Amino acid sequence: MELPSVGQHCSLSSCTRLDFLPYTCPGCQQVFCDKHWRPEQHRCSVETFDDVKALKCPLCKAKIQPVKGQNPNIAMDEHIDSGCKKHKVRKANPNRCSCAGCKVTEVMPFLCDRCLKNYCLKHRHPDDHDCAGRSSSAAHTKRSQPRTQPRSQPHKARQHQQPRQQQSSSSSAARHQSRRPAGQRLNDAGYGAQLDRQRQQRAPAHPQQAQPAGLSEEEAVALAMRASLEDEQQRQQQQRQQQQQQQKKGSECVLS
């Protein structure tokens, strides 16, 4: 034996094995090897001794109660292999993200309006944390929405809406006309009649500007004023062309 001073011999007379990691019986306070450390294996003199003792995990600080007759080291190994970090007691933080697998803790809480749970900035939207209240809220909004019209009805609705718009425009024009003073209405009517006569005289030169049927007096006045402005622009354009031609002829005479 190279190291006779290291380790201790088993106290059982039939064994006396040298064990480098001996066990001390808490009942009889004798040293035994790993095969005779149990009270029933070495016939412990303390009959009332219970060898089942709770152990404390050095990682998660949890108490482990081994089965009676089980090796405490084996119980500790099984506890560590099973993932003792899951059983670690943590202080409850109200700002911790409730999404599975997320460990982010924000300074301020972000509560979801649907499931009323706290989430981080990354998972604060219902689509990001797969909100459980999303389906119920969507069904509620779908029930609250009014039913839409069939596809054939919008076209009919537009057809009925056009006469209403024309009636509203004519009625608004009539109301606007009625708000004016009586003298101004007469002057506008006389000016409109004069412009209408001028437009009728120019009708052969501008057949495309014939007055459409069903126009109000105010619309006829606006149409006549537009026609007179167009004629004025045409006259000015003709005058400019004549001036340019005269200037061109004068320059040719000077050169010759």
Tell me the pLDDT tens digit for each residue of 20-76: 888 888 778 888 888 888 877 888 877 544 556 778 888 888 888 877 777 778 888
Give the C-alpha separation, 44 to 46, whole Å: 5
Judge whether residue 112 has pLDDT over 70: yes
Alpha helices in the chain, H assignment, sequence order: 39-42, 72-81, 134-144, 152-179, 182-201, 217-255
Judge whether residue 230 has pLDDT over 70: yes
Into which CATH architecture does domain 94-129 fall?
Irregular (4.10)
Into which CATH architecture does domain 1-51 fall?
Irregular (4.10)
- The DSSP call for residue 146 is P
Encoded tokens for 247: 């200037």
Encoded tokens for 111: 């509560």
Give the C-alpha separation, 232 to 195, whole Å: 14
Task: State pLDDT tens for residues 233-256.
Answer: 888 888 888 888 888 877 777 766
Q: Mean pLDDT over residues 211-223, rounded?
A: 72
Indicate the pTM of the whole model.
Answer: 0.23
